[in-house]
Amino acid sequence: MPHTDTSAASARVADLIARMTVEEKLAQLVGFWVDQGDEIVAPMADEMVSSDRYEEVTAHGLGHLTRVYGTRPVDPIERAAWLWAEQRRLKKVSRVGIPALVHEECLTGLAAWKAATFPTPLAWGATFDPDAVDQMARTIGGSMRELGIHQGLAPVLDVIRDARWGRVDECIGEDPYLVGTLGTAYVRGLQAEGVHATLKHFVGYSGSRAGRNHAPVHAGPREINDVFLPPFEMAVRDGGVRSVMNSYAEIDGVPVASTRKYLTDVLRGEWGFDGVVVADYFAVAFLHSTHKVSPDLAAAAARALHAGIDVELPTADAYPTLLDGAIDDATMADIDTALARVLLQKEELGLLDEDFAEPPTEIDLDSPAHRAAARRVAEESVILLSNTGALPLAAPQRIALIGPNGHDSSSLMGCYAFANHVLHYHPQTPLGFEAPTVADAMRERFPDAEFTVAAGCDVEGTNTEGFADAVAAARNADVAVVVVGDRAGLFGRGTVGEGNDVDSLDLPGVQRELVEALVATGTPVVMVLLTGRPYALDWALDGDNAPAAVLQSFFPGEEGGRAIAAILSGDVNPGGRLPVSLPRSAGSQPYSYLHPFLGGPNEITSLDSTPTRPFGYGLSYTTFAHSNLTVDAECATRGRFVASVTVTNTGDRRGADVVQLYAHQPYRSVTRPLAQLVGYARVELDPSETVTVEMSVPTTRLAFSDASMTRVVEPGAVELWVGASCADKETTATLALTGEATSPTPDDARTVDVIVTPAS
């Protein structure tokens, strides 16, 4: 009989496995979506057949309860009472007395009615602040734990490769190190509260052709190794994540849900992951229905189990069909291996001993602590892209509030926010928490000003009938604040979000025309973007008829309106930086700042792919100077080097600077990016304050896959610089890596240590 890997099982779990029938074992490897109905909150969910015979299905127990709180608006306390009773029933009806693990979406906060909604992950990336992300995740995890939720389906660690992809707003950025450090911070924060985080989507999902959702991925093994895998490795090795979710994608013709290479050999064999792998919703069945690599659901189930998918979510579509035929020894071994992992997770979470006697009788899912964490991330994430002196606003008496996104709180939230994910199907249901719009927040901040409001146009469509009122409002104002951008939604219901891929990176609808009409009035125009992806904005940043100032905010959440008002007024100094390049056009996609010489503009091509604004860019109401970059002259290929830079606030306002250390390694065995973020630090400085930022950099930050696909650090010169973006070499230094090429080991550090000290 093939080896059954239950070596990590505790004595209690091993005893349970020995006593369980095949039916009971398979019941632990599937979820059930109790509330699934007309709401389409998962891809192609309307095409899948899920049993509504809940009690019959759970006769042998159940692995997961799917989205108990997040499928429709239910009162959290009433739902908790149901859940506690249901857990007691499952313990009683199941011969072995095992309750279900409850999972929920939590990408922008707990996806439940009345729960706080935080900024979207692209906004996390703009903060360059792991501590802020950690604190946000802790507040989210606390709410989940109180409601009996054990596992959160976040964070997304897909590295952005193409801005046309609809799910860009769920991603942190285009740099693997930024994604890895912030994603790991989220994992640590959530799991510190006793809720297991789930990394997704492992792996390569964001590399789909032309940015089309679920489209084939044709990334080479080096791109997989050096771009897509590192954030996941960091979250596994450094974050201790307890769960991973597979990617829907196929890589070079092989669906990830069916490949043991990534889900077992890399994840477990190379990285030592000992948690649970869960299927993205319906991914096991998709091996039969969409990928068509399995002739039936039973074959899909056997293939996914052997690849390493322990739990089929959200429902039991494929795994139970194994009971319809003979289960061979190999598949039985895979079942027992998956079962051991599932039961160990439940034991680790305390589920095997929980009696579910006392459900919560009160809960505040939008407490002052929630709002403070949301406000911090929102304020730190707003990026000032241009400013000719219009900002901060100098107490204007007449303000025109214009644009389709200035007066709708849903425009502050991403695709996976409950408001956009679920409440669309329940238009009469209120949000359940406060989410002031930009217009509301501006009235709060400027109570003595006279406001004129005009939408001007919708986010989508070609209707310009509202232009006249908007132009009139602008002409009669001291300043016009026009709020434009995206509306997040699912599968065609919106301009960005899951399934909302695009072939243009122009602002949707006629919003550009609206802004240009307002600028033509001669009134200073401040353009505020609430978007889930970066857009081509050369006309707004570099043109002769550009707005006086442009703020970029990636869906900043429930406190986003107030954060934007605080920045417009000058109460908060903008300190966000671009976590993704601002594209020049859709034709430049896919694009990453991590390109070699021939991947960027050069005399061999007539197409200029230079982004409108580079990765790491962001302005402030003050100015910062970076000087005296000093680096160790030499460093062995396995070791650490120290880079030290002087940072001074040369302006007259306190502000945050993101110190960015970049590297280029010329003349290696394979081509290397012209710029690579090596380390970063967000620092707050008073006017005229000077600090020294010292980064202790492990040489693993310079590792890459060589010609033989071995991950190595090669000897040779390294060019280093610090500046205001990847394209700004304000202060430079060189380093010589010496010795033989070396391969990183699991014990080698992967992150940069930062020390900030006052300058002497």
- 314 pLDDT more than 90: yes
Rounded CA-CA distance 33/509 in Å is 37
List phi, psi (to 5°) of 297: -70, -35
**Mean pLDDT within 552-562:** 98
Q: What is the pLDDT of residue 35?
A: 79
In the chain, what is the straight-line distance between the N-terminal and C-terminal CA atoms, in Å?
70
3-state SS assignment for residue 89: helix
Closest CA to 488 of 382, 400, 560, 381: 560
Rounded CA-CA distance 340/334 in Å is 10
Yes or no: say if 314 and 102 are a contact pair by the CB < 8 Å rule.
no
Q: What angle do CA 243, 332, 61 make, to 5 degrees?
A: 60
Give the CA distances from residue 36 to residues 41, 52, 68, 117, 163, in Å, rounded to whole numbers and listed in that order. 9, 9, 10, 23, 31
**Residue type for 596, please?**
P
pLDDT band at 639 (very low <50, low <70, confident <90, very high): very high
Token pair, residue 746, equals 């699991």
**Mean pLDDT within 269-275:** 97
Yes or no: say if 531 and 444 are a contact pair by the CB < 8 Å rule.
no
Q: Whose structure tokens read 């197409």?
A: 607
User: Element (H or E) spanning 409, and its range?
Assistant: none
Q: What is the pLDDT of residue 99?
A: 97
List phi, psi (to 5°) of 53: -90, 70
- In this predicted model, what pLDDT tens digit does every residue of 696-730 receive, in sequence order? 999 999 999 999 999 999 999 999 999 999 999 99
DSSP state of 8: T
Rounded CA-CA distance 188/191 in Å is 5
Yes or no: say if 543 and 137 are a contact pair by the CB < 8 Å rule.
no
pTM of the entire predicted model: 0.96
Contacts of residue 462, defined as CB under 8 A and 6 or more positions apart, other chains included, come to 509, 510
Give the CA distances from residue 361 to residues 146, 228, 550, in Å, rounded to whole numbers and listed in that order. 10, 43, 46
Query: Chain centroid to CA 4: how far?
Result: 35
Yes or no: say if 101 and 347 are a contact pair by the CB < 8 Å rule.
no
Closest CA to 145 of 206, 73, 200, 69: 69
Q: What angle do CA 76, 80, 86 make, to 5 degrees?
A: 145
Yes or no: say if 190 and 235 are a contact pair by the CB < 8 Å rule.
no
Tell me how crowded residue 345 is: count the other CB atoms within 10 A of its CB: 23
Rounded CA-CA distance 54/72 in Å is 18
Rounded CA-CA distance 677/181 in Å is 12
β strands within 216-320, DSSP E: 243-246, 250-251, 254-255, 276-278
Contacts of residue 75, defined as CB under 8 A and 6 or more positions apart, other chains included, come to 113, 114
List phi, psi (to 5°) of 549: -160, 150
Yes or no: say if 237 and 199 are a contact pair by the CB < 8 Å rule.
no
**Mean pLDDT within 618-628:** 98
Put residue 253 in one of left, alpha, beta given phi > 0 → left and psi -120 to 50 → alpha. left
Rounded CA-CA distance 661/735 in Å is 13
pLDDT band at 759 (very low <50, low <70, confident <90, very high): confident
Token pair, residue 384, equals 């000032």
Rounded CA-CA distance 548/599 in Å is 33
Tell me how crowded residue 453 is: count the other CB atoms within 10 A of its CB: 16
- In this predicted model, what pLDDT tens digit does every residue of 93-121 receive, in sequence order? 889 999 999 999 999 999 999 999 999 99
Yes or no: say if 29 and 317 are a contact pair by the CB < 8 Å rule.
no
Q: What is the pLDDT of residue 1?
A: 28
pLDDT band at 2 (very low <50, low <70, confident <90, very high): very low
Yes or no: say if 100 and 94 are a contact pair by the CB < 8 Å rule.
no
Instruction: Provide the Cα torsion 78, 80, 81, 85; round to 10°.
Output: 140
List phi, psi (to 5°) of 713: -110, 115
Domains and CATH numbers, the chain: 13-348 (3.20.20.300), 382-599 (3.40.50.1700), 624-758 (2.60.40.10)
3-state SS assignment for residue 14: helix
Within 13 Å, how many C-alpha atoms sit on residue 340's CB side? 18
User: Element (H or E) spanning 692, and its range?
Assistant: strand 690-698
Q: What is the pLDDT of residue 5?
A: 55
Give the CA distances from residue 345 to residues 62, 242, 277, 360, 371, in Å, rounded to whole numbers and listed in that order. 14, 8, 11, 23, 31
Token pair, residue 263, equals 């889900």
**Mean pLDDT within 667-691:** 98
DSSP state of 3: P
- In this predicted model, what pLDDT tens digit does every residue of 13-70 receive, in sequence order? 999 999 999 999 999 999 999 876 545 555 555 444 444 578 888 999 999 999 999 9
In order, the DSSP letters of 533-583 are S----HHHHTSTT--SEEEEEE---TTHHHHHHHHHHTSS------SS-B-
Q: What is the pLDDT of residue 746?
A: 93
Tell me how crowded residue 96 is: count the other CB atoms within 10 A of its CB: 19
Yes or no: say if 721 and 730 are a contact pair by the CB < 8 Å rule.
yes
* Mean pLDDT for all residues in the chain: 95
Q: At what angle do helices 329-348 and 11-19 cross, to 10 degrees?
A: 130
**Mean pLDDT within 632-645:** 97
Contacts of residue 160, defined as CB under 8 A and 6 or more positions apart, other chains included, come to 168, 171, 173, 174, 206, 580, 592
Q: What is the pLDDT of residue 541?
A: 97
List phi, psi (to 5°) of 695: -115, 125
- 384 pLDDT more than 80: yes
**Residue type for 272, please?**
G
Token pair, residue 149, equals 């939720």
- 126 pLDDT more than 50: yes
- 486: which strand partners? none
Sheet with 151-152, side-by-side order of all strands: 31-32, 64-66, 101-104, 151-152, 196-202, 243-246, 276-278
3-state SS assignment for residue 106: coil
- 567 pLDDT more than 80: yes
Share of residues in the chain with pLDDT > 70 (%): 97
pLDDT band at 326 (very low <50, low <70, confident <90, very high): confident
Q: What is the pLDDT of residue 213?
A: 95
Yes or no: say if 150 and 104 are a contact pair by the CB < 8 Å rule.
no
